């Protein structure tokens, strides 16, 4: 048994949030990690002007406060997303707020954007020493009178220290946040964010992260607003509020569901967005990626790049190399010289 597998077993004896905190400490101490991004000529990909060594990124939520971004960048990922960050520090929702659904290979969380605030996070991002591609998920304070303005404020505070930023209007754990996905509200919010981006010392790609619990009409509206606003990519998708055929004891907990049960829903949303945008902007596929097959399926459904998080709870960081080696082999098997050639090649299977 590997040391990491043994460590995972020990962490699973603790409550999930305590275990997660120890994992971050292990990363910072150099007890977990690797030698840097995994890359081959087939795996390299361009995303919104970013030259990614491979398409597999770490989703936001793992390192909310940017305390271990350098260590995480050494774990094999092509890019890492910290956050979500809000303008002011906030504690989030009461504990317990993170639940392992082991039988379902899933997770439910209702954190509520707990973080140290944009100022503290900006300081850590400014101090990072690694060369990995690091982005920040932008959020809004729960008690903010101007949630749309919060996104622009975080970008203004932190944008000079990151390689990309993500507008997160899709977390289910902040009241009325998902209301900002409506066309008029989203248009106004993105105008403010893009103005803040334009005031930065250098151009930072801005991504938009959406919920999977949207109708085809809503997806089409969001795609249209995103293209109009000049968004550089859409991340599909965040966690879901749906609950279908779950077995675990915590299946009825409130919050966003991620992991294996999200795969089909999020991949259908991804394919629909791919069709709706017609290649006008790249897509990042998230939700239920746990092996090379699910990663490859996302690419064929329309994803230029990928992110995962929940699968690490069950597979550890060794999973990153396993997925990327398998993905490289799958591309070679099917005659693709690179990821870009495979993007959208199997979209019809999900429509």
Active site residues: 171
Contact criterion met (CB below 8 Å) for 147 and 180? yes
Between strands 106-109 and 256-259, the pairing is antiparallel
Would you tell me how many other CB atoms lie within 10 Å of the CB of residue 230? 13
Would you tell me how many other CB atoms lie within 10 Å of the CB of residue 322? 16
Contact criterion met (CB below 8 Å) for 192 and 149? yes
Half-sphere exposure of 110 (CA within 13 A, CB side): 12
CB-based contacts of 128: which residues, under 8 Å, 6+ apart?
66, 69, 70, 134, 161
Would you tell me how many other CB atoms lie within 10 Å of the CB of residue 71? 23
Q: What is the DSSP letter of 261?
A: G
CA distance 7 to 273: 39
Would you tell me how many other CB atoms lie within 10 Å of the CB of residue 46? 14
């Amino acid at each position: 048994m590997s040391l990491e597998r043994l460590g995972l077993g020990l962490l699973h004896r603790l409550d999930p949030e305590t275990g997660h905190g120890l994992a971050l400490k292990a990363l910072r101490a150099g007890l977990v990690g690797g030698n840097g991004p995994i890359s081959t000529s087939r795996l390299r990909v361009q995303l919104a002007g970013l030259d990614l060594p491979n398409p597999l990124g770490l989703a936001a939520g793992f390192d909310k406060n940017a305390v271990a971004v350098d260590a995480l960048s050494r774990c094999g990922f092509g890019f890492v997303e910290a956050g979500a960050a809000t303008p002011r520090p906030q504690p989030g929702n009461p504990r317990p707020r993170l639940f392992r659904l082991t039988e379902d290979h899933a997770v439910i969380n209702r954190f509520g954007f707990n973080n140290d605030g944009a100022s503290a996070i900006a300081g850590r991002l400014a101090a990072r020493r690694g060369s990995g591609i690091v982005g920040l998920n932008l959020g809004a304070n729960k008690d903010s009178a101007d949630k749309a303005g919060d996104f622009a404020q975080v970008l203004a505070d932190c944008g000079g220290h990151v390689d990309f930023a993500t507008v997160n209007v899709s977390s289910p754990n902040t009241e009325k946040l998902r209301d900002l996905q409506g066309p008029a509200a989203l248009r106004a919010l993105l105008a403010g964010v893009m103005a803040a981006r334009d005031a930065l010392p250098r151009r930072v790609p801005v991504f938009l992260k959406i919920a999977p619990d949207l109708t085809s009409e809503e997806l089409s509206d969001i795609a249209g607003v995103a293209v109009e606003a000049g968004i550089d990519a859409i991340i599909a998708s965040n966690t879901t509020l749906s609950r279908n055929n779950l077995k675990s004891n915590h299946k009825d907990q409130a919050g966003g569901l991620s992991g294996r049960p999200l795969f089909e829903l999020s991949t259908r949303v991804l394919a629909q967005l791919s069709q709706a945008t017609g290649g006008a902007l790249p897509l990042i596929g998230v939700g239920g990626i746990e092996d090379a097959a699910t990663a490859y399926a996302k690419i064929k459904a329309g994803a230029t790049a990928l992110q995962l998080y929940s699968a690490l709870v069950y597979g550890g960081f060794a999973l990153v190399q396993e997925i990327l080696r398998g993905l490289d082999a799958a591309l070679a098997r099917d005659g693709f010289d690179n990821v870009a050639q495979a993007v959208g090649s199997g979209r019809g299977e999900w429509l």
